[in-house]
Amino acid sequence: MDELTIYTLNNVPEMPRGFVRDLRLRWACEEAKLRYRVEGIPFDAKSPQHFEKQPFGQVPWLVDGDITIFESGAALIHLARKSEQLLPSDPVSEAEALQWTISALNSVEMVSVPWWFLEVTGSKENGLRDWFESRLSHIETVLNNREWLAADRFTVADLIMCDVLRITKVRSHGDRPATEAYIERLTARPAFKKAHADQLAHFAKAD
Amino acid sequence: MDELTIYTLNNVPEMPRGFVRDLRLRWACEEAKLRYRVEGIPFDAKSPQHFEKQPFGQVPWLVDGDITIFESGAALIHLARKSEQLLPSDPVSEAEALQWTISALNSVEMVSVPWWFLEVTGSKENGLRDWFESRLSHIETVLNNREWLAADRFTVADLIMCDVLRITKVRSHGDRPATEAYIERLTARPAFKKAHADQLAHFAKAD
């Protein structure tokens, strides 16, 4: 098996030490007894090379042979599939583990991290605006250079990214033409239109 | 193939119509030409039966034969694996699609939904507190009844849930003994301790 390489920062301030997300991948490798090494990258200068690997300028990312995968949650699922210790292979247990993995990322962390961020900054208004705008800008940069997020074709990644972005579209400030075009392109798909019309019809029955 | 059933609410107010997350699953089924039906459940009374299927009291969830899976992101990945149209099977493309799927859920939606929530409520302080506490309470209820989240054993779901929760532990208010014990049990694992010590050592090298 190819050796796994976890990329993280060389250095961070005192507070986040012990919490930087490379820990999730280290922990998974330790549980599954997977061979891995850790490579440090500079903290100060977020280089174009960094954004090429991680379009939000974050860490970690994982290299596994010819696969490079960012987002700690995605890298974790990728690692988990290598080991029964992390992810049971019987379909019922696997689905159960997957649902709780996504719960942690999208139901708990989706609230805990922004809550923590506002607590630390002591924000007296909607202190998530700049963060949100920065996410949108990174997405715009990515979509300026490609039609689809993955594999040069429509995938489930476009489906979910579009669904996440389309509610924010009308509320967002500033021009983001590539993102707007992406959302329009995806919501023009017959499958989206049917799903959308069906949902509206479903709720209309209740009126 | 068993027919797929998507469970959603019978009714919601006007505003979220067209955005309720069953749409993600409908859309995926339409793209992949998977047979499915939609079942409505009551809006007003969040029953114990509902919480049994979805411990945060949300929708949707998906039934696929003997598999019941909640979290729209998890159900989406489950569906995507059934179809090359949603998830390419070559490993590089699959990893790419997975990383962008998790990006949508854990980098973009993690900021966009709390931002949107504060915008709608016009919160003048950290308006995520109640939401966060409610998430913690639901987790506490779940952990009161079981040692592990999935499959009656340690899985990657515990690893990520623990990592998400442990930073909030010291900051959270109120007693949540089952959650505290869960975090203590998981962070006592040799694999966590090694990963944690290794991360601290990695950053200490920079001092």
| Rounded-to-integer distance, Cα B94 and Cα A84, Å | 20
B113 touches chain A (CB under 8 A): yes
Nearest 5°: CA angle at B72, between A126 and A103? 70
For residue B2, pLDDT beyond 80: no
For residue B90, pLDDT beyond 60: yes
Cα–Cα nearest to B93, from B82, B101, A50:
B101
Pair A5, A70: CB distance under 8 Å: no
Question: Where are chain A's structural domains?
Answer: 4-80, 88-125, 128-207
From chain B, the residues in CB contact with A107 under 8 A are 56, 58, 71, 135
| Rounded-to-integer distance, Cα B47 and Cα B57, Å | 9
A63 touches chain B (CB under 8 A): no
Q: What is the pLDDT of residue B23?
A: 97
Neighbours of B45 (CB within 10 A): 9
Please give, rounded to a whole number of angstroms, the shortest distance from the CA of A144 to a CA of chain B: 16
How does pLDDT run along chain A (207 residues), one tens digit per residue?
568 999 999 999 998 999 999 999 999 999 999 999 999 998 766 778 888 888 888 999 999 999 999 999 999 999 999 999 999 999 999 999 999 999 999 999 999 999 999 988 988 888 998 999 999 999 999 999 999 999 999 999 999 999 999 987 645 667 899 999 999 999 999 999 999 999 999 999 988
Residue in chain B lying closest to A108 (CA): B135
Which pLDDT tens digit goes with each residue over B98-129?
999 999 999 999 999 999 999 889 888 889 98
| Residues 125-154 (A) with a CB less than 8 A from some CB of B | 125-126, 128-129, 131-132, 135, 139, 149-151, 153-154
Choosing among A51, A102, A116, which should be mutated to test the B contact, i.e. which has the most B CBs within 10 A? A102
Q: What is the pLDDT of residue B46?
A: 72
Q: What is the pLDDT of residue A147?
A: 96
Q: What are φ and ψ of residue B139, in 5° steps?
A: -65, -40
In the CATH scheme, what architecture does the domain A128-207 have? Up-down Bundle (1.20)
Nearest 5°: CA angle at A107, between A105 and A111? 95
Pair A135, B112: CB distance under 8 Å: yes
**Residue percentage of chain B with pLDDT more than 90:** 76
Residue indicated by tokens 């300026």: A144
Which pLDDT tens digit goes with each residue over B143-171?
999 999 999 999 999 999 999 999 876 45
Which pLDDT tens digit goes with each residue over B32-56?
999 999 999 987 667 788 888 888 9
Choose among B74, B165, B206: nearest Cβ to A10.
B206
Residue indicated by tokens 């993102």: A179
Mean pLDDT (chain B) is 92
| Rounded-to-integer distance, Cα B58 and Cα B8, Å | 9
Contact B164 A10 (CB under 8 A): no
Q: What is the pLDDT of residue A143?
A: 95
Pair B63, B7: CB distance under 8 Å: yes
Query: What pairs with residue B40 in β-bridges?
Result: B8
pLDDT band of B81, cuts 50, 70, 90: very high
Q: Complex ipTM, two decimals?
A: 0.95
C-alpha torsion angle, residues B73, B76, B77, B80 (rounded to 10): -160
Question: Six-digit token pair at B54?
Answer: 């979805």
| Rounded-to-integer distance, Cα B179 and Cα B175, Å | 9
Contact B99 A75 (CB under 8 A): yes
Contact A112 B168 (CB under 8 A): yes
- Which CATH superfamily groups domain A4-80? Glutaredoxin (3.40.30.10)
Distance of CA B82 to the CA centre of its chain: 20
* Cβ neighbours for A192, distance < 8 A, ≥ 6 positions apart: A162, A186, B27, B30
